[in-house]
A = this chain, B = another copy of it.
Amino acid sequence: MTTTGKQIFTTLASDGTLTVEVGEVEFSDPVGSQVLVRMEAAPINPSDLALLFGPADLATASYTPGIVVAKMPEPFAKAAVGRHGQRLPVGNEGAGTVIAAGEAPAAQALVGQRVSCVPGNAFSQYAIADAMMCLPLGDISARDGASAFVNPMTSLGFVENAKMEGQKAIVHSAAASNLGQMLLRICEEDGIALVNIVRKAEQADLLRDLGAKHVVNSSDPDFMAQLRAAIAETDAFFGFDPIGGGRMVDSIFTAMEQVAGSRMTDYSRYGSNQPKKMYIYGRLDRGETILSPAYGFGWTLSGWLLTSFLQQAGMETMVRMRQRVLDGLTTTFASHYKREVNFEQMLEKDAVLDYAAMKTGEKYLVTPWA
Q: Which residues of A contact B (CB under 8 A)?
A: 47, 50-51, 55, 75-76, 78-83, 86, 88, 244-245, 250, 254, 257-258, 261-262, 264, 266-270, 273, 280-281, 283, 286-305, 307-308
Contact B288 A80, beta carbon cutoff 8 Å: no
- Name the residue in A86, A280, A293 with the highest tally of chain B Cβ atoms < 10 Å from its Cβ: A293
- Name the residue in A47, A292, A296 with the highest tally of chain B Cβ atoms < 10 Å from its Cβ: A292
Contact A291 B291, beta carbon cutoff 8 Å: yes
Contact A291 B288, beta carbon cutoff 8 Å: yes
Cα distance, A82 to B245, chains bound together (Å): 30
* Contact sample, A vs B, 20 pairs, CB 8 Å cutoff: A47-B270, A50-B270, A75-B294, A76-B294, A78-B258, A79-B258, A79-B294, A80-B261, A80-B267, A81-B261, A81-B262, A250-B288, A287-B293, A288-B292, A289-B293, A290-B291, A297-B305, A299-B302, A299-B303, A301-B302
Q: A50-B269, A288-B292, A300-B300 are in contact. Are A82 and B261 (CB under 8 A)?
A: yes
Q: A51-B269, A81-B262, A261-B81 are in contact. Are A75 and B293 (CB under 8 A)?
A: no
Q: Which of B83, B258, B300, B308 contacts A301 (CB 8 A)?
A: B300
Contact A82 B305, beta carbon cutoff 8 Å: no
Cα distance, A269 to B122, chains bound together (Å): 15
Cα distance, A307 to B273, chains bound together (Å): 10
A258 neighbours in B (Cβ, 8 Å): 78-79, 81
Q: Name the CB-closest residue of B to A281.
A: B297
Cα distance, A281 to B80, chains bound together (Å): 30
Contact B75 A270, beta carbon cutoff 8 Å: no
3 A-B pairs with the lowest CB-CB distances in the bound complex, closest first: A297-B303, A51-B269, A83-B267
Q: Name the CB-closest residue of B to A300.
A: B302
**Copy total for this chain:** 2
Contact B79 A254, beta carbon cutoff 8 Å: yes
A75 neighbours in B (Cβ, 8 Å): 254, 292, 294
Cα distance, A268 to B90, chains bound together (Å): 11
A257 neighbours in B (Cβ, 8 Å): 79
Cα distance, A273 to B305, chains bound together (Å): 10
Cα distance, A78 to B262, chains bound together (Å): 11
Q: Name the CB-closest residue of B to A261.
A: B82
A83 neighbours in B (Cβ, 8 Å): 267
What is the distance, in angstroms, from A329's C-beta to the closest C-beta of chain B? 25
A308 neighbours in B (Cβ, 8 Å): 273, 297-298
What is the distance, in angstroms, from A286's C-beta to the closest C-beta of chain B? 5
Cα distance, A257 to B80, chains bound together (Å): 10
What is the distance, in angstroms, from A261's C-beta to the closest C-beta of chain B? 5
What is the distance, in angstroms, from A224's C-beta to the closest C-beta of chain B? 9
Q: Name the CB-closest residue of B to A82.
A: B267
What is the distance, in angstroms, from A277's C-beta to the closest C-beta of chain B? 9
What is the distance, in angstroms, from A311's C-beta to the closest C-beta of chain B? 9
A254 neighbours in B (Cβ, 8 Å): 75, 79
Cα distance, A305 to B55, chains bound together (Å): 36
What is the distance, in angstroms, from A32's C-beta to the closest C-beta of chain B? 21
What is the distance, in angstroms, from A72's C-beta to the closest C-beta of chain B? 12
Contact A290 B290, beta carbon cutoff 8 Å: yes
- Name the residue in A266, A286, A297, A301 with the highest tally of chain B Cβ atoms < 10 Å from its Cβ: A297
A86 neighbours in B (Cβ, 8 Å): 267
Cα distance, A81 to B294, chains bound together (Å): 12
Contact B289 A291, beta carbon cutoff 8 Å: yes
| 20 extra interface residue pairs, beta carbon distance < 8 Å, beyond A297-B308, A298-B305 | A76-B294, A79-B257, A79-B258, A80-B261, A80-B267, A81-B258, A82-B266, A83-B267, A250-B288, A273-B308, A288-B292, A288-B293, A289-B290, A289-B291, A289-B293, A296-B303, A297-B305, A300-B302, A301-B301, A301-B302
